[in-house]
Amino acid sequence: MDVNEVPQDPKNFKGAENLKKLMYATDKDGKYTGVVSSGWEAENAATKQAWDDVDENLAKTEAQVRAGELSPIAYYMEKNLMELSLLAKYVGKWQWQVKRHFKPSVFNNMDATLLQKYADVFNITTEELKSFGK
């Protein structure tokens, strides 16, 4: 890639425009040099798609929490870009236990210590966790 061909397509979402990264390209004598790039259309589209997917899933889960089908834990797990396996590691539980905590009936009877543990992992208060979707 020629230094003049290094794309400068800014990524205008979620603060990405604030990060300009270094690319390696060749100058007119074929010598490699570092060039700062704002982004590239192809790569921007891929990043954007990954986030759109997250947002779409999150909206679905939020609706399910509001409808009383899932507990707020399912929502905050996705909001923190976690999968069941990762969340289970963070709270020190088995995956099937975390899955059980997705049930509103189980969540509503959760003891304060465990609730606090989840809130800490999600970086919110227990109040925020309990009241979400109400």
Instruction: Report if residue 109 touches another protein, rule: CB under 8 A.
Output: no
Partner residues linked to 25 by β-bridges: 33
Note whether 19 binds another protein by CB under 8 A: yes
Cα dihedral 117→121→124→130 (10° resolution): -50
26 binds another protein per the rule CB under 8 A? yes
101 lies in the site for another protein, by CB under 8 A: no
How far is it, in rounded angstroms, from Cα 115 to Cα 73? 10
Of residues 54 and 67, the one with the C-beta less far from another protein: 54
- Output the smallest distance, CB 22 to another protein, in A: 5
Handedness of CA 90, 96, 97, 100 (dihedral sign): positive
Nearest CB to another protein, comparing residues 53 and 131:
53
81 is an interface residue for another protein by CB under 8 A: yes
